[in-house]
Amino acid sequence: MKTTICIFEDEGFRNLLPLTYLRPVYDLKCGMLTLREKITRQLTSKSVILHARTSLQKVLTERYPGIPVNKYDADNILFINGRLLINKKIAKEIKKLDQNSALVKDGIIIAANLSGDNLKTLITSKEEFLPFYILNSITKDETDCTLINYAWELVNANGNEIIDEFDSIVNKIPKIDSKKYRSVEFINKSKIFISKGVEIQPFVYLDASEGPIYIGKNIMIMSHSHIQGPAFIGDGSTIKAHTSIYNGTTIGQVCKVGGEIDKSIIHSYSNKQHDGFLGHSYLGSWVNLGAGTNNSDLKNNYENISIQLNGKKVDTGLQFVGLIMGDHSKTAIGTLFNTGTIVGISCNIFGEGFPSRHIPSFIWGGAAFMKTYDINKSIEVARIVAKRRCVTLSEAESDVLKEVIDLTMHERRS
């Protein structure tokens, strides 16, 4: 019997908001790949189904043509939790799962191999999230694995994920042409991968002594920039002059970055191309940080950082937590963010001083005042920005934005 993989979302996506408003949890990046890409690489030679919230179904169908979304036409399905940060050890356990058995961690389903009545019961449910709890006739075994609960966990795992994935993805390191890259300093060349179409200007310093550096296709790295591995630079991105990228940083595709970036993840099509510090932070797609935007990632008293998330105070247990910013949000020049600030999607932040450490989605303003950002203007700006990158904002994506402004109305009222 052929087994199909279904990567599913559970209610844990809420703790990863605002990053998961416009994407399923498994499309979050960590290291060189998304959580979904990691799963499909580890569990090869299987057909794939995606499960997601109903609001994301049309978007995902557009994004991944040919992959069923919330459609379960198979006799045997291996369900994998989309929050799983998979590795070889847990992948091996998953592959050994018998039919109608599951792996759990602290009562949460990590993986379940289902067929027959159990599969039928699960997939015919009308609930938004797959109700594994109604299946009484499956065997459950406790396992030890990493299940992502918060965005800062992705940031902290990023460096090690780059190291692990570099060795598995890069089979051969092309010899670096010293004549092509004159006056460029390479430290530990055996751990520096440079793809096709890359331009590196003189006086760039690439240091892979503490971890590998992966430079994707068609990238420009301007003079006097410093990149310290482990680091990943996605295809089509630009590293502006005098940029400092420190270890544990991932830059997505078609980004423009500058200033100082430390242990951060930036999704595709986002810009931070001016001076300013970004540290221990996670930015979604289509973000633009104005010149001189800075965030704090360490409290003056060195205490653990607490975050306001979903109306509750969460102690991260960490000394370093920076900025978490959702898709389509922007800052004006000179914007300042305090330690552990969360900014929702489609915000425009400006003005003097530090704004609130929790800024709901669709906010226009800053420390002095905040008002709701008009949804029609927000969508129009998103269309214009996308067009500048030769991308079309679809109606399905517009519809999700409209849904999120309604979902977050209570946050702006408070």
Name the pLDDT band for 14 (thresholds 50, 70, 90).
very high
Which among 197, 196, 213, 292 is positioned nearest to 251, based on CA atoms?
213
How do residues 101-110 score in pLDDT, each as one tens digit? 999 999 999 9
pLDDT in tens, 312-365: 999 999 999 999 999 999 999 999 999 999 999 999 999 999 999 999 999 999
CATH architecture of residue range(s) 151-273: 3 Solenoid (2.160)
Q: Does the structure show a pLDDT above 90 at 177?
A: no
Mean pLDDT on 4-21 = 97
Other beta carbons within 10 angstroms of residue 62's beta carbon come to: 13
Neighbours of 18 (CB within 10 A): 24
DSSP state of 290: P
Residue 1 has pLDDT above 70, yes or no: no
Segment 59-102, tens digit of pLDDT: 999 999 999 999 999 999 999 999 999 999 999 999 999 999 99
Q: Assess contact for 51 and 130: CB atoms under 8 A.
A: yes
* Model confidence at 288: pLDDT above 60: yes
Does residue 8 register a pLDDT over 80? yes
DSSP for 74-113, written as a single string:
-SEEEEEETTB---HHHHHHHHTPPTTEEEEETTEEEEEE
Q: Are the folds of 4-149 and 151-273 the same?
A: no
Q: Say which range, 49-53, 124-128, 328-332, 363-367, has the weakest mean pLDDT.
A: 124-128
Which pLDDT belongs to residue 2? 65
Q: Pick 4-149's CATH classification: 3.40.50.300, 3.40.50.2030, 3.30.70.1290, 3.90.550.10.
A: 3.90.550.10
pLDDT at 311: 85
CB 257 within 8 A of CB 275: no
Could you state, in order of their start, the residue ranges of all structural domains in the chain? 4-149, 151-273, 305-414
Which residues, in sequence order, are bridge partners of residue 324? 282, 342
Q: Is 364 left (phi over 0), alpha (psi -120 to 50) or beta?
A: beta
